[in-house]
Amino acid sequence: MATGTSSLLVAAFDFGTTYSGYAFSFRDNPRKVQTNHTWYSGGAGKLISLKTPTSVLLNPDGEFDSFGFEAEDSYASKAEDGEHEGWRLFRRFKMVLHNNQNLSRATTVEDLEGNTHPAMPIFSMSIKFLQTHLLESVAKQIVGIRERDISYIITVPAIWDDNAKEFMRMAAEKAGLDGNRLKLALEPEAASVWCETGGVDAKIADPGTKFMVIDLGGGTADISVHEKKLDGTLKAIHKASGGPWGGVYVDANYIRFLERVFSRRAIADLKKKEMSDYFDVIREFETKKRCFSEKVKSKITFKISAATRTLSEKYTGQKLEQRIEYLGFGDSVVLKGGDKLRVEPDIVQAWFDDPINRLVVHLNNILCLPTMRAIQTVVLVGGFGESAYVQERLRAEIPVTRLFVPGEAGLVVLKGAVSFGHNPSIISSRVMNYTYGVAANIIYDEKIHSKDKRFLANDGHWRVHNGIAVYARVNTEVPEDQQITQEFIPNNYIVQIPIYRTTRENPLYVTESGCDLLAELKTSLPRGIPLSELRYKTTFMFGGTELVVKFRVKKTGQEEILKLNCLK
């Protein structure tokens, strides 16, 4: 395998929908991956976590104050003392990047009160916090380590669009990370790498093994399928896929249940005025969510704070006992001791079923493909993947021999990203999610092109307007180091290269439905030389986690990497 980074240390940031964290290892012992295990929450739960919530608190001047548990607890404390006016808390904002065709530098996110703020600085502040925390941890182990000795990896869903990846890279660079020492790692790929390098399971590590990884986090289910090759690298055998089927949708169903029981206004007030109680509710459910199982036959207990009860009785005009009886739950939901709600497992199960049902359908659609019949092992990682109920459903409903869940499944992506950073070439190939090409007046072919689109070009050839010169096609395998080059004759000293993308395998024109303009690259040709002598080549490098385009003028040797600009 090709050698990886020469940096002294590789650090990875897993910037999740619900939780975030970091991990790192040194060049001389890359498999000894270290994580921060001391994220601490206040509140009634007194939770010690492997990650910290993806939450950012801004002070009244709009400046960064804190991140994670500290941000949530600080805001809750200020709210209870009536001192939170002007302070702004942002939670679970990563999903603004998922499948957002209108994503731009001006995209906004909402704080807890529903007010908007530009998303880019919120992401940048988050990454800056993780970097600062990391540097403090590393400095305790090695005195005098310099920031330039570190290579950075940021994990992103494999199903993200190019514009979301560019947004995350831009946010990282605005946070001060050197773009030359920064790579993006695709989350399910990173998990696959950890399965290979971390020794988590001998059967997965056998050459020739084909396995699926499901990264089931807070926001999305992200799925990849790989084969381990004889040289130890991993070859993709299906394009990345998935959807918005993560744990936050179960949380949303739980909150809707609480709104029904206590009233929507009561829960809204709890969220605004009794913030500590609200966060205790959320954190308690996170634990319950992972422990809930089909084997649970007795009612599940949820704590009720005095504030929740008081607000409910204020807005409903009913005692809580009367309210529950009025709602017609019967014996399914009962009040216990005045401060506990006992809920039948069937109700809790219903909160899970919609996202899991969608995931199961998607997985079965993949696994029934002829090329996927050799898949007998599925590796389930991610925070929501630690849910016992999720594991039970998948074991029962997808046609594989076994479902394997590594220890500390919520950290597998993070650890794998570190390993990937030491050796990016461990992913030897990827499968294209789209067909990519550039707009060009291509040679007319009477077998496939409409006659009304042809014209006689200056070079004497019949060509077609708005044709697409394809560089790579959807569902095809692209080696990690593959470069695809095409040559063009310019018609202007200012070269504009519009890059188009479609899910069709054989597009003919950039004007077809579903053929979208991804980006437009611009560069200049040297003046003083006739355009007819300035043939140029564009080389697309698809094998990495980000698309890279190289431009070269044949006559002069002028060469440059053209920066994609997918964001509006």
- Residue 480 has a pLDDT of 87
- With H, G, I as helix, E, B as strand and everything else as coil, classify residue 214: strand
Q: How far is CA 170 from CA 155, 163, 175, 338, 456, in A?
A: 14, 10, 9, 51, 43
Q: Domains in the chain, ordered, with CATH? A: 248-349 (no CATH), 432-562 (2.60.34.10)
Q: How many CA atoms lie within 13 A of 199 on its CB side?
A: 3
Q: How many CB atoms lie within 10 A of CB 554?
A: 12
Higher pLDDT, 136 or 48: 136
- Residue 151 has a pLDDT of 97
Q: Which tens digit of pLDDT belongs to each residue from 390-441?
A: 999 999 999 888 899 998 899 999 999 999 999 999 999 999 999 999 988 8
- In the block, tokens 């437009």 appear at 520
Q: Which tens digit of pLDDT belongs to each residue from 145-181?
A: 888 999 999 999 999 999 999 999 999 999 999 999 9
- In the block, tokens 């708005």 appear at 466
Listed residue (513, 506, 515) closest to 439, CA to CA: 515
What is the pLDDT confidence band of residue 2, given thresholds at 50, 70 and 90?
Answer: very low
What is the pLDDT confidence band of residue 289, given thresholds at 50, 70 and 90?
Answer: very high
For the record, the structure tokens of 136 come out as 């403090």
Q: Name the percent of the chain lying above pLDDT 90.
A: 72
Question: CA angle, corner 15, sides to 11 and 17, nearest 5?
Answer: 160
- In the block, tokens 């050796």 appear at 423
**pLDDT surpassing 80 at residue 191:** yes
Which of 42-51, 224-233, 303-312 is least confident?
Answer: 42-51
- Residue 1 has a pLDDT of 34
Identify the bridge partners of residue 537 per DSSP, sorted by sequence position: 487, 552
Average of per-residue pLDDT across 358-365: 97
Q: Are 324 and 342 in contact (CB under 8 A)?
A: no
- Residue 3 has a pLDDT of 42
Average of per-residue pLDDT across 57-64: 97
Element (H, E) at 60: none
Listed residue (519, 484, 517, 498) closest to 440, CA to CA: 498
Length reported for the chain: 568
Q: What is the distance between the alpha carbons of residues 216 and 378, in angstroms, rounded to a whole number? A: 12
**pLDDT surpassing 60 at residue 258:** yes
Q: Are 422 and 30 in contact (CB under 8 A)?
A: yes
**pLDDT surpassing 80 at residue 41:** no
For the record, the structure tokens of 162 come out as 């190019």
Q: pTM (2 decimals)? A: 0.90
3-state secondary structure 379-438: EEECCHHHCHHHHHHHHHHCCCCEEECCCCHHHHHHHHHHHHHHCHHHEEEEECCCEEEE
Which of 127-131, 216-220, 444-448 is least confident?
Answer: 444-448
**pLDDT surpassing 70 at residue 45:** no
- Residue 48 has a pLDDT of 61
Q: Are 222 and 95 in contact (CB under 8 A)?
A: no
What pairing do the DSSP bridges indicate for beta strands 454-456 and 333-336?
unpaired
What pairing do the DSSP bridges indicate for beta strands 221-228 and 210-216?
antiparallel
- Residue 4 has a pLDDT of 54
Amino acid code (one letter) for 273: K
For the record, the structure tokens of 194 come out as 């950890």
- In the block, tokens 């869903």 appear at 157
Within 243-329, residue ranges assigned H as helices are 248-262, 264-273, 275-291, 306-316, 320-326
Q: Which tens digit of pLDDT belongs to each residue from 11-31?
A: 999 989 999 999 999 999 999
Q: What value does the mean pLDDT of the chain take?
A: 91
Listed residue (534, 517, 533) closest to 525, CA to CA: 534
Q: What is the distance between the alpha carbons of residues 384 and 409, in angstroms, rounded to a whole number? A: 9
Q: How many CB atoms lie within 10 A of CB 159?
A: 24
Average of per-residue pLDDT across 302-325: 95
Q: How far is CA 149 from CA 34, 145, 183, 424, in A?
A: 17, 7, 15, 18
Listed residue (185, 82, 74) closest to 416, CA to CA: 185
Q: Are 83 and 65 in contact (CB under 8 A)?
A: no
Amino acid code (one letter) for 399: P
**pLDDT surpassing 70 at residue 513:** yes
Which of 35-49, 148-162, 539-553 is least confident?
Answer: 35-49
Average of per-residue pLDDT across 104-124: 95
Question: CA angle, corner 194, sides to 190 and 197, nearest 5?
Answer: 130
- In the block, tokens 């200012």 appear at 494
Q: How far is CA 152 from CA 10, 120, 192, 271, 561, in A?
A: 6, 19, 19, 36, 21
